Structure 1
Amino acid sequence: MPNSPPEKPVYRFAPSPNGFLHLGHALSAFLNHDMAKASGGRFLLRIEDIDLTRCTAEFEEMIYRDLTWLGLDWEMPVRRQSEHFDAYRDALDRLRSMGLVYPTFLTRGEVKAHVTAYETNGKNWPRDPDGSPLYPDDDRLRNEAERAHLIAKGIKHAWRMDVMKAMALVGKQLSWQETGTGHPETIPADPTIWGDVILSRSDAPSSYHLSVVIDDALQGITHVVRGEDLYTATAIHRLLQELLGLPEPVYHHHQLIVGSDGRKLSKSEGSTGIAALRDEGLLPGDIRRIVGL
């Protein structure tokens, strides 16, 4: 039998409707769209509205308006995370059945007090790549009876992954394929630098980490093109893909667009918003030039 033709590459742009799109989003959207077209592939749009407290229909409509104005087109229908909570719960249940997820009860204030007390002796509490302190061991060391008692009392809790236990189960060095430097590279992945990451909270059925790997798998994403601020998070995504038997995309992390203060752009900075620049009279070609394309 003749070999089957390779499947088309599939790219996606996945913004959250919790603010106005800015120049950094424009760069990512352009790259995904252009790379898909250049490779004869597909370009998908995904709305990452897992945070129901901050995401709004108004911001979502503005996303569609901004991307259309930029000259981008995408396949329909658009996947909206808020319509797929069951898929994320199923994945969490699978990890829970593997003994890799546990409930955590410490508040932010309690974690801060724990870290402060530790560092008064001149020692440094370990932190993740974003600078946040790693979650203490207290809840991971609780026995099942204690956990059940706290849950029965109605104490708010999140679900975290026991990363060390998960790595032991995987039993091998993880890596990912990266093309952001202009040529393919194999990058070693060390999920332990993040500590025990949150996979679900009381106010959100899934974290970014869990939902993004589920969505990418269900949508058949072959190439993940995103900002370099998510470079180290890829280690957690690769771990989840291994545990859940999901395919591994190729990753391409691009440079960030930064503001005058040298920091990455925020959705709260209206001056760099696509809508604001459009209202000033700029054209889509101007936006491409500004972001370096």
Structure 2
Amino acid sequence: MSDARPAFRFAPSPNGLLHLGHARSALLNDALARASGGRFLLRIEDIDPTRCRPDYEAAIYEDLAWLGLDWERPVRRQSQHMEAYRAALARLDALGLVYPSFESRADIRRAVEARPGWPVDPDGAPLFPFLRDVMSDDEREHRLAAGEPYALRLDMARAAALAGPLAWREIEETAGTAVDSPADPCAWGDVVIARKEVPTSYHLAVVVDDALQGITHVVRGADLKAATSVHRLLQHLLGLPAPLYTHHALLLDAQGRKLSKSIGSQSLRDLRASGVTPAQVRDLAGCA
């Protein structure tokens, strides 16, 4: 019998140490789960074998326990569920929406440089500048058979036409009211949903995981709000339920940048070593 309680999740990637921004998201999810009599789940998003490390995963558990958080066991680790992602990918392929792309990053860069003013996606990266039919199906099959590296992309125009207009329910962080937020997946172009060596991407794995784990409320940073358009599209195409979403305000550093592993934002481990207490972290994260 399925658990009908509200379900919230915190889903970090073990590719670095957690910082205050992560603490804010984890604490908000835990608080909302407690307030609603719901569940708090931890998911380890470790599909990238080149960047994810066991010591970072261990540090996640240590940091969250230090903050006083507890979560359901067992923890879902994405690297242990590749078959679920392959099955979802196969469903999209059966709809004629997936194609292999052999263009390298250098190929994409050169194509974009030759087209001044080329549009970018919501993350600021250039949209994929090649059409699906620029390469014949026979050539794709030949290159696949030759073992060339590739990315599997979603034919966004076809996918969006098949799905029609979509929206998701957004619960505004401050007002607490639910509004319909229109989805615009075409703003992302032909997104990568898998690669030769890994049968999924963040976009595909997150919607599959949320459905399989019974997640009813996705509470995450505002930097991921635009990506919800892609997630809502994939949910529709795969026949998966759509959670309620809240995209909370981000914590910024002194230069106005969002806290990030990539820019070396101070980690929770460093804060702990400097004598900062869990209660102080809650205050700094705006979750006191």
| Structure 1 and Structure 2 fold alike (TM over 0.5) | yes
Deviations 1:94-142 (A, max 9, x none): 10111000000110101110111122xxxx1011011111102244432
Deviations 1:150-184 (A, max 9, x none): 2122221110001110111113x100101134211
Distance 2:262 2:109 in 1: 26
1:174 to 158, 166, 176: 166
1:236 to 211, 230, 243: 230
Shift of 1:199: 0.4
Distance 1:189 1:139 in 2: 23
- The question of 1:129 aligning with 2:157 is answered no
Matched with 1:3 is none
Contact kept? 1:104, 1:140, Cα under 8 Å: no
Residue-pair matches, total: 285
Contact kept? 1:102, 1:140, Cα under 8 Å: no
Matched with 2:192 is 198
Tell me the secondary structure at the aligned position of residue 126 of structure 1.
coil
Shift of 1:271: 5.4
Distance 2:97 2:262 in 1: 37
Distance 1:139 1:98 in 2: 15
For residues 10-159 of structure 1, the aligned pairs below 5 Å read 10-119=7-116, 124-159=117-152
**Is the deviation greater in 141-150 or in 89-98?**
141-150
Matched with 1:289 is 283
Distance 1:141 1:270 in 2: 41
Contact kept? 2:100, 2:150, Cα under 8 Å: yes
Contact kept? 1:103, 1:157, Cα under 8 Å: yes
Contact kept? 2:132, 2:155, Cα under 8 Å: no
In the superposition, the TM-score normalised over structure 1's length comes to: 0.94
- Give the aligned CA root-mean-square deviation in angstroms: 1.6
For residues 242-257 of structure 1, the aligned pairs below 5 Å read 242-257=236-251
In the superposition, the TM-score normalised over structure 2's length comes to: 0.95
Distance 1:255 1:203 in 2: 35
1:208 to 191, 199, 202: 202
Tell me the secondary structure at the aligned position of residue 272 of structure 1.
coil
The amino acid of 1:229's aligned partner reads D
The verdict on how the C-alpha distance between 1:118 and 1:63 changes in structure 2, with shifts beyond 3 A counting, is: same
Contact kept? 1:105, 1:139, Cα under 8 Å: no
Contact kept? 1:161, 1:198, Cα under 8 Å: yes
Distance 1:214 1:237 in 2: 10
The verdict on how the C-alpha distance between 1:276 and 1:269 changes in structure 2, with shifts beyond 3 A counting, is: farther
Tell me the secondary structure at the aligned position of residue 253 of structure 1.
strand
Contact kept? 1:156, 1:202, Cα under 8 Å: yes
Tell me the secondary structure at the aligned position of residue 232 of structure 1.
coil
Unaligned runs of 5+ in 1: 1-5
The amino acid of 2:93's aligned partner reads R
Shift of 1:83: 0.2
- The question of 1:267 aligning with 2:234 is answered no
The amino acid of 1:24's aligned partner reads G
Contact kept? 2:97, 2:155, Cα under 8 Å: yes
Percent identity over the alignment is: 56
Distance 1:53 1:180 in 2: 36
